[in-house]
Structure 1
Amino acid sequence: MIRHWASVESDLAREYHLDAQRLARLSTRRFLVLLGGLPAESAFARLWQATPRTVTDPSEIARLTGVPLDH
């Protein structure tokens, strides 16, 4: 998502009229709800679908999320 932040920000501005200040005040839950509600033709949705990735290796998941593996 960070990689495509410009698209996220522009889509949220276009669809929900959120400027950067209002966007910064959103709760994580609200942000994810609005992001998930973007139409399939939004820039972010198109970019997200064009870069699919499945991660199943526990070590890689830990590295990507920053959550250490329980040993």
Structure 2
Amino acid sequence: MTNWAAVEGDLSAYHHVTAADLARMSTRRFLALVGSLPPESRFVRAWQRTPRRVDDPAEIARITGIPAH
């Protein structure tokens, strides 16, 4: 994961999660905590700057608001 340091730092800062906690954490809990990070967190800002490749016309329409043809 490219932004692991940001994820680990944010989980520590916002949720007081330690490295040991992460090692024992379920995937469901990890995703819930990452998903609840605030917009100003390092990971969320990095994620928003990460380019994505989208090939599905329906997904492109959803992102851009331009109807698929």
Q: Is the structural similarity TM-score above 0.5?
A: yes
For 1:3, what is the secondary structure of its paired residue?
coil
Q: Structure 1: how far apart are the matches of 2:25 and 2:55?
A: 31
| Runs of 4+ that moved beyond 4 A | none
Deviation of 1:24 after TM superposition, in Å, equals 1.1
Identify unmatched segments of 5+ residues in structure 2: 57-69
Deviation of 1:50 after TM superposition, in Å, equals 0.4
User: Is 1:32 aligned to residue 31 of structure 2?
Assistant: yes
**Whose radius of gyration is greater, 1 or 2?**
2
Identical positions, percent: 57
**Number of aligned residue pairs:** 56
For 1:45, what is the secondary structure of its paired residue?
helix
Structure-2-length-normalised TM-score? 0.75
User: Is 1:56 aligned to residue 61 of structure 2?
Assistant: no
Deviation of 1:52 after TM superposition, in Å, equals 2.6
Identify unmatched segments of 5+ residues in structure 1: 58-71
Who is 2:2 aligned against?
Answer: 3
CA-based RMSD: 1.3
Structure-1-length-normalised TM-score? 0.73
User: What letter corresponds to residue 23 of structure 1 in structure 2?
Assistant: L
User: Is 1:18 aligned to residue 21 of structure 2?
Assistant: no
